[in-house]
Structure 1
Amino acid sequence: MDKKILLATVIALATAPALAQSSVTAFGLIDMSVGSTKTPGATASVLGADSGKMTTSHFGFRGNEDLGGGLSAIFQLEGFLRADVGASGRSNTDNFWARNALVGLASKEWGTLKVGRNTTTLFVATLSFNPFGDSFGYSPSIRHIFTSGTVTGDSGWSDSVLYTTPNFSGFTGSVFVAAGEGQGGRNVAASGTYVSGPLAGALVYQQVKKDGGATPVDDTTVWMGNGSYDFGVVKVFGQYAQVTNDTKNVDYKIYEAGVSIPVGAAKLLAQYGQISPTSGAGRKTWTVGYDYWLSKRTDLYAVAMIDRLSNLSAGESFSVGMRHRF
């Protein structure tokens, strides 16, 4: 069924009328690596070939149509894939277009409005202010915010409306709402981002009340501050998040610090992060890596991580891999 949906989409896009002021772009990224994974408390490591350890493999289509007067109609259709087994989605439970599926309007004067399934502003800020980006395999920031039982809600929200302001001398703001549609309540978020030369910062608020599935999701509230400064010889990153689980009455403080050091066509990467909860196990994660660019679209990487949960043996993982963008 998934193949039929993709084929129908490709045919429809390929046969659409060619307009002089319209464009459609096909794009994606495939990330494959080999390595060893040992989770905290496990007794043995697992050797394997994995998809998406540094960046979740994905594909998609995006386009725009000039409507005149500086206004454009836009769309995005993006799905995840598991290149190691040739399957769509991050898992068998993902919808086909789980990354983004939206239409909208964009204007330099009035900003951008997107309606559909949108990537969350919390996820964008988290990946933008740590040296390992959106790596679910190795970024302490991504792991602590999105896979450690702290924040609820996915990295994308369905049934959502996202508005982003124009750029005001380096500052952009956004407001984000996902309709509840009878699933426990709605999700809301707001963010502000400032970029000026080597300095960048972002503040994000997010509240999740929408269950979004058969298994109830805890209500959570997040405040997160982010900053980075590029000194040329080294770029430094810092993040602090305070998460309240309103259902379980547990608070989490999350600290992240990292560096990216350019070395010719490569970068040395390092990050430390920790989770300090008011109850339950704390977590500390160290990650180091080397990322070498063969071209603008292709890079090779080697990365290693030590992941510790209170009262459990340390998790130790490493990967050597390749990413190609198209």
Structure 2
Amino acid sequence: MNHFLLRTTIASAALLCGTTTASAQSTVNLYGLIDLSIGSNKAPGGTRLRDVDSGKMTTSYLGFSATEDLGSGLSAVVKMEHFLRADTGEAGRFGGDTFWARTAHVGLSSKAAGTVTLGRNTTPLFVATLRMNAFGDSFGYSPSIRHFFTSGTVTGDTGWSDSILYTSPRWGGFSFGLIGALAEGSNGRNWGMNAGYADGPVAATVTLQSVKKDGTAAVADTRTWQLGGSYDFGAAKLFGQYGRVKNETVVNQYRITEIGAKVPVGAGAVLAQWGQIKPDTGAKRDTLSLGYDHNLSKRTDVYAVAMRDHVAGLSTGLGYALGVRHRF
């Protein structure tokens, strides 16, 4: 599988390079998002903490991007984005986080052949997970994001260092992607692939991923597959996900089920998402989040969210937040 991924990516890059002509225009953009909230949180089995927090609905970040038109439908692309904790002004999602942890890559993009980028790339599994649940990329309140990425199931980060990512064009709603993170020293390789369809009210994804390292450090070997889908009825948009994560290092398997809905109300929407982790060995986890997100403008929204998080054998976790989010 790794050899197939590498050959496909190299072939795609060669195809892109073959269409190069004289350079034309270039653009540079500065953008970002700040998300701050006040609330109360108690993890399962933990103690209650009341605080002002950053990134409960979307992790705050600052980004730079650049594109250069090389002609004949080919462009050079660059993107660098770093997370930040706006409540304290500190960089990163946590102490010691890589500065450009969100993404840092350069590549070539062709309207006909797709896009190849080298560097630190966001994984297809993370993108599929955030697209197919009502709370998007919320690490604070999305059961889907929490169950796949912060509950001891999938190993590796949401972005992979030392990686090559290929994203295809869309053909009648269909698209696919391939990603590989090369080994360094004695660390293993990562690879992933996804295919998706989105047209009108219906969308669907299938994603596979294998992880043996996180950054430059070796981690527990995990293999993940995930199916996702959504359907927009107009009066409500429904979401569903099912996945399995096999941890080959500790010999355990996790079944993850997620269902949700987004119901437009006025200038905003009511959000609901439920999810469950059912391991072969260990405690079952059930998480339910409810909220309302209200758009004040195209770039600014306010939200109110509550979550119940239960792990068998531990006291139930409860949390809520009132927040504001601004994109620029």
Q: Which TM-score applies when normalising by structure 2?
A: 0.92
Does the CA-based 8 Å contact 2:157-2:214 persist in structure 1?
no
Q: For 1:175, which of 169, 173, 178 is the aligned residue? A: 178
2-side partners of 1:193 and 1:114: how far apart? 19
Q: Residue 229 of structure 2 aligns to a residue in which SS?
A: strand
Tell me by how many angstroms 1:212 deviates: 3.2
Tell me by how many angstroms 1:180 deviates: 1.0
Q: For 1:305, which of 304, 307, 310 is the aligned residue? A: 307
Determine the structure 2 residue equivalent to 1:200: 203
> What is the number of residues matched between the two proteins?
306
Map residues 204-243 of structure 1 onto 2, 5 A cutoff: 204-213=207-216, 216-243=218-245
Determine the structure 2 residue equivalent to 1:280: 282
Does the CA-based 8 Å contact 2:160-2:214 persist in structure 1?
no
Question: 2:242 is aligned with what amino acid?
Answer: Y
Determine the structure 2 residue equivalent to 1:254: 256
1-side partners of 2:117 and 2:284: how far apart? 37
Q: Residue 145 of structure 1 aligns to a residue in which SS?
A: helix
Q: Residue 127 of structure 2 aligns to a residue in which SS?
A: helix
Does the CA-based 8 Å contact 1:140-1:271 persist in structure 2?
yes
Unaligned runs of 5+ in 1: 1-18
Tell me by how many angstroms 1:211 deviates: 4.6
Tell me, yes or no, if structure 1 residue 126 matches structure 2 residue 144. Answer: no
2-side partners of 1:99 and 1:34: how far apart? 24
1:97-154 residue CA offsets vs partner (Å, 9 max, x unmatched): 1111000000110000010000111000000000100000000000000000000000
Does the CA-based 8 Å contact 2:187-2:216 persist in structure 1?
no
Unaligned runs of 5+ in 2: 1-22
Tell me by how many angstroms 1:20 deviates: 6.4
Aligned residues: CA RMSD: 1.1
Does the CA-based 8 Å contact 1:151-1:222 persist in structure 2?
yes
Q: In structure 2, do the counterparts of structure 1 residues 151 and 191 end up closer, same or farther at CA, with 3 Å as the change threshold?
A: same
Does the CA-based 8 Å contact 1:251-1:278 persist in structure 2?
yes
Report sequence identity in percent.
58
Does the CA-based 8 Å contact 1:183-1:211 persist in structure 2?
no
Determine the structure 2 residue equivalent to 1:30: 34
> Where do 4+ consecutive residues of structure 1 move more than 3 Å?
211-214
1:136-173 residue CA offsets vs partner (Å, 9 max, x unmatched): 00000000000000000000000000001111111111
Does the CA-based 8 Å contact 2:54-2:85 persist in structure 1?
yes
Map residues 94-133 of structure 1 onto 2, 5 A cutoff: 94-133=97-136
